[in-house]
């Protein structure tokens, strides 16, 4: 049949091209989002590499600054952002990309890194919708249910608190970094009500509300009682009360 070898008719070609144009238009934003996501991931990975190199240098007892490590590695941001170091206290810094922001939450200090992780996980929970919250903790959601959920994500045990800090604070026992959230009137929706502390119980049984050390998310410091023995019961207290009772009343930073 002759008609068969003729290939596309003009109208078929126009329809095919029109479909392609529509498809491209539909997929382009998704595609761009995907590309941008990959670029950001690559960029944050660059930042991780610098932090790891810095930690290796510290372990090997080399005297380096994060600036020197950054200058040495010269990472390239895929979106052409440039990197800078923001210092937030001794040994505590974030690396910022002008395009992708920073890796806030990463500290070279393990005790601070553990606190930031606990804080961020509780913050993620607070960011969930009402329905998602109910799915996880049930309608009677309470601090214990939320902590059980987060503990489960950690494999059933809160991470051990840095031993050097424990000793510096005057305690001779294992402590564990864990988050707490005060309900208040907000149904667990205020990040201001997140508390991170070091307690003696590695899970949610036992004396869970006694804080041996308390983390201040505003400055990235861990605090302990000046007499090197007092503890503080955080149960049913919002962060501003805890802060007033402890830090404003003489608790000292351990880092």
Q: What does the binding site for Zn ion look like in residue numbers (CB under 5 A)?
A: 43, 77, 81, 97, 99-100
| Shortest distance, position 77 Cβ to Zn ion, whole Å | 3
Of residues 38 and 230, the one with the C-beta less far from Zn ion: 38
Distance of closest approach, residue 72 Cβ to Zn ion, in angstroms: 18
Tokens 């045990």, residue?
157
User: What's the min distance (Å) between Cβ of 127 and Zn ion?
Assistant: 24
Nearer to Zn ion, 53 or 99 (CB): 99
- CB of 27: closest distance to Zn ion in angstroms? 25
Residue nearer to Zn ion on the CB measure, 84 or 228 = 84
Element spanning 253, H or E: strand 252-253
Nearer to Zn ion, 95 or 211 (CB): 95
Would residue 138 be called left, alpha or beta, if left means φ above 0 and alpha means ψ between -120 and 50 degrees? Answer: left
């Amino acid at each position: 049949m002759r008609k068969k070898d003729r290939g596309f008719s003009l109208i078929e070609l126009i329809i095919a091209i029109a479909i392609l144009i529509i498809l491209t238009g539909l997929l382009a934003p998704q595609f761009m989002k995907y590309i941008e996501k990959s670029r950001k991931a690559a960029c944050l990975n660059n930042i991780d590499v610098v932090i790891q190199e810095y930690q290796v240098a510290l372990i090997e007892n080399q005297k380096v600054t994060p600036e020197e490590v950054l200058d040495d590695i010269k990472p390239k941001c895929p979106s052409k952002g440039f990197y800078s170091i923001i210092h937030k206290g001794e040994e505590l810094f974030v690396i910022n990309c002008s395009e992708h922001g920073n890796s806030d939450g990463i500290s070279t200090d393990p005790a601070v890194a553990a606190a930031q992780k606990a804080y961020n996980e509780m913050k993620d929970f607070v960011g969930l919708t009402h329905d998602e919250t109910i799915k996880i903790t049930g309608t009677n959601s309470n601090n214990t249910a939320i902590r059980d959920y987060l503990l489960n994500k950690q494999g059933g045990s809160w991470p051990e608190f840095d031993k050097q800090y424990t000793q510096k604070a005057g305690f001779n026992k294992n402590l564990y970094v864990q988050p707490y959230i005060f309900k208040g009137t907000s149904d667990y929706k205020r990040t201001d009500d997140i508390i991170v502390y070091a307690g003696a119980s590695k899970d949610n049984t036992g004396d869970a509300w006694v804080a041996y050390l308390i983390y201040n998310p505003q400055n990235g410091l861990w605090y302990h009682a000046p007499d090197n023995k007092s503890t503080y019961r955080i149960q049913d207290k919002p962060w501003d009360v805890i802060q007033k009772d402890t830090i404003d009343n003489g608790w000292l930073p351990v880092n």
